[in-house]
Amino acid sequence: MGDPKRHRKKYTTPTHPWDKARLEKEMELVIKYGLRNKRELWRFQNILRKYRRVARDLLAEIGLPGKEGEIAKAKAQTVIKKLNKMGILPENATLDDILNLSVEDFLERRLQTMVYRQGLAKTIKQARQFITHGHIAVDGRRVTSPSFIVTKELESKISFYKNSPLAKTEVV
């Protein structure tokens, strides 16, 4: 069952730690999205890897005849609906669209990126600071995790927290 006090690692480290091309690409993404460290990036790469693996397995199962194929199609629609609700895929997406996703698609849905894109903060680093200091609320509730995934329905409900001094001045 495992120790309840110990959390399971949600990322996997790269197999080749000193690959120059990968290191440069990772550093570019860390700077662009204001990540604290590469572990945050690896976590989203792991999420992407999981969805791509599911899509590949479902593509293989859809070709099966009979009931197994129909069950696989229903599972595929469930996965697509979930990614659509997160705002990563459009409504009429297919399993091939899941295979074409990139890490940037997931990083764009982080609260830190959304706060910066909506103009609540001047820089991506300032957006992270506002969130961790408790100045940002999503649907009226304070969120202090910059990596919070914002769904499509919550995207328009990002604002300053009601008790924050920034909410009273509204000057950023």
Nearest CA among 167, 45, 34 for reference residue 111: 34
Phi, psi of 88 (to 5 degrees): -90, -35
- Give the C-alpha separation, 60 to 171, whole Å: 54
15-54, pLDDT tens digit by residue?
Answer: 999 999 999 999 999 999 999 999 999 999 999 999 999 9
Q: Which uninterrupted H or E stretch holds 159?
A: strand 158-160
More confident residue, 121 or 5: 121
Interacting residues of 11 by C-beta distance below 8 A, sequence separation 6+:
39, 42, 43, 45, 46
Interacting residues of 167 by C-beta distance below 8 A, sequence separation 6+:
135, 159, 160, 161
110-158, pLDDT tens digit by residue?
Answer: 999 999 999 999 999 999 999 999 999 999 999 999 999 999 999 999 9
Give the torsion sign (CA, 15, 31, 103, 81).
Answer: positive
pLDDT at position 1 is 63
